[in-house]
């Protein structure tokens, strides 16, 4: 017999034993727990790296080299931290995709807080990418911060305020380092809030039934299952960090930042490539920035158009076609973000961008009218 569900007690105690959990949830519900484990790994490795880092443009690149070559296990911490960031976004996209497919947007607070976490993680990852102060780090900071100049009338002032001067330099690096260190703790607080609202209603399930009768205790049914995937993920993270850790890094970023030499091709990490492709596909600078923001902000609409009684996209044949169309367009935009902006790929990017937003709008119609 399950005890009465008390979400506050579950979270405060930090031990979930009798939490009523749907008995039919699949491996797709493991992405959330894997994200929690990855966040812990990133926090621990990040704090340890921060104790050995110097946020000054004259020394940052050399300090990264010192961490690699002279600090005890500094190379391992750096590789785990950088590879873990890539896994973080992989799990995050799978988590969001699963939520969209199975209708998790019906839980408004959970969905909206999750998207806010995603937005903060985007900023955190970008700030961390700048810190090594290599060629790609420097020019990525220059290009991305320059997007703020698209804001009418005050754009130039905002850019100079962010830079702390008239160009990206030491003041910029100090600010980015401070924010990169602090924002993960903000994310941690939001994750606790995210879990609180999730457990106040209970997890969803593949068939969308909200009955309280077909549930089992979280322990040991799902704690053992989570532990298995924790072990597999840690094993994979360590293996990839030790064998391919450097392969995930841009070769240009092993060159110290040089404001006088622009890299031939500047591109972000793979998890930002879809948004980067959308940005480049719109000729107007302000329009590109708006398109970049809308590519993510459109997901805030789903909770406000969804019925609380209908299931997710999975229950609609048209909805499933739209969902997998979105997945394909996301992958195509990610690929196009790697390709230099030249014909015919510019035209293809414009086309796929229109398809992406068109499918988003069609998914709203499918959900609102329960087609």
Structure tokens at 14: 């930090």
pLDDT value for 309 = 56
198 has pLDDT over 80: yes
Q: Which of 203, 316, 329, 349 is catalytic?
A: 203
Tell me if 258 sits within 8 A of 135, measured CB to CB: yes
The mean pLDDT of the chain is 86
Residues of the chain with CATH 1.20.810.10: 7-262
Match 């970008």 to its residue by tokens.
126
Could you report the per-residue pLDDT of 25-71, keeping only the tens digit for each?
A: 878 888 988 999 999 999 999 999 999 998 888 888 999 999 988 88
Give percent of the chain with pLDDT exceeding 70.
Answer: 90
Distance between CA 216 and CA 5 in Å, rounded?
12
Distance between CA 369 and CA 92 in Å, rounded?
28
Residue 366 DSSP code = H
pLDDT value for 11 = 46
Instruction: Let me know if 108 is a catalytic residue.
Output: no
15 has pLDDT over 50: no
Q: What angle do CA 44, 189, 145 make, to 5 degrees?
A: 80
| Position with higher pLDDT, 265 vs 93 | 93
Q: Which of 45, 269, 281, 363 is catalytic?
A: 269
Q: Which of 215, 226, 241, 363 is catalytic?
A: 226
Q: Does the CA dihedral 322-325-329-335 come out positive or negative?
A: positive
Distance between CA 308 and CA 276 in Å, rounded?
34
> Strand pairing partners for 20?
217
Q: Which of 108, 219, 225, 285 is catalytic?
A: 225
pLDDT value for 310 = 59
pLDDT value for 97 = 92
Strand ranges in 111-225 using DSSP code E only, listed in sequence order:
215-217
Q: How confident is the model at residue 165 (pLDDT cuts 50, 70, 90)?
A: confident
- Report the helix count and the strand count for the chain, using DSSP H and E: 14, 2
When pLDDT is averaged across residues 166-175 and rounded to a whole number, the result is 91
Could you report the per-residue pLDDT of 336-368, keeping only the tens digit for each?
A: 998 887 888 889 999 999 999 999 999 998 888
Cα 99 versus chain centre, distance: 14
Distance between CA 190 and CA 170 in Å, rounded?
30
pLDDT value for 366 = 87
Residues of the chain with CATH 1.10.287: 267-371
Q: Provide the whole-model pTM.
A: 0.90
How many CB atoms are located within 10 Å of the residue 166 CB? 8
Q: Checking DSSP bridges between strand 20-22 and strand 215-217, what pairing results, if any?
A: antiparallel
Tell me if 286 sits within 8 A of 347, measured CB to CB: no
Tell me if 54 sits within 8 A of 174, measured CB to CB: no
Instruction: Let me know if 203 is a catalytic residue.
Output: yes
When pLDDT is averaged across residues 111-122 and rounded to a whole number, the result is 95
127 has pLDDT over 60: yes
Nearest to 126 by CA among 275, 20, 4, 298: 275
Looking at CATH, the fold of the domain delimited by 7-262 is given as: Cytochrome Bc1 Complex; Chain C (1.20.810)
Instruction: Let me know if 349 is a catalytic residue.
Output: no
Q: Is 1.10.10 the CATH classification of the domain at 267-371?
A: no
């Amino acid at each position: 017999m399950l005890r009465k569900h008390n979400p506050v007690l579950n979270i405060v105690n930090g031990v979930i034993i009798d939490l009523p959990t749907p008995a039919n949830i699949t491996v797709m519900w493991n992405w959330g727990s894997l994200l929690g484990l990855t966040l812990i790994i990133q926090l621990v490795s990040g704090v340890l790296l921060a104790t050995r880092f110097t946020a000054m443009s004259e020394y940052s690149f050399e300090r990264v080299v010192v961490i690699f070559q002279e600090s005890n296990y500094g190379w391992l911490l750096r590789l785990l931290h950088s590879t873990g960031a890539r896994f973080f976004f992989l799990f995050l996209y799978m988590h969001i995709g699963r939520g969209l497919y199975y209708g998790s947007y019906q839980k408004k607070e959970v969905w909206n807080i999750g998207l806010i976490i995603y937005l903060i993680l985007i900023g955190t990852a970008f700030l961390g990418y700048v810190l090594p102060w290599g060629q790609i780090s420097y020019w990525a900071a220059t290009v991305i911060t320059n997007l703020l100049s698209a804001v009418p009338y005050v754009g130039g002032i905002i850019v100079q305020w962010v830079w702390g001067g008239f160009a990206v330099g030491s003041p910029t690096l100090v600010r980015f380092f401070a924010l990169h260190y602090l924002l993960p703790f903000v994310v941690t607080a939001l994750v606790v809030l995210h879990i609180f609202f999730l457990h106040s209603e209970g997890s969803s399930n593949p068939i969308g039934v909200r009955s309280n009768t077909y549930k089992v205790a979280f322990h040991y049914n799902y704690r053992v299952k989570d532990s298995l995937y924790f072990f597999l993920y840690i094993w994979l993270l360590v293996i990839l960090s030790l064998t391919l850790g450097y392969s995930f890094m841009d070769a240009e970023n092993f060159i110290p930042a040089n404001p006088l030499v622009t890299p031939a091709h500047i591109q972000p990490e793979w998890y930002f490539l879809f948004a980067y492709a959308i940005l480049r596909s719109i000729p107007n600078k302000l329009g590109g920035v708006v398109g970049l923001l809308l590519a993510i902000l459109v997901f805030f609409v789903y909770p406000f158009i969804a019925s609380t009684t209908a299931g997710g996209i999975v229950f609609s044949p048209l909805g499933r076609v739209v969902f997998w169309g979105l997945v394909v367009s996301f992958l195509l935009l990610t690929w196009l973000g790697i390709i230099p902006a030249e014909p015919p790929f510019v035209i293809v990017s414009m086309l796929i961008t229109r398809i992406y937003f068109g499918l988003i709008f069609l998914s709203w119609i499918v959900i609102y009218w329960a087609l």
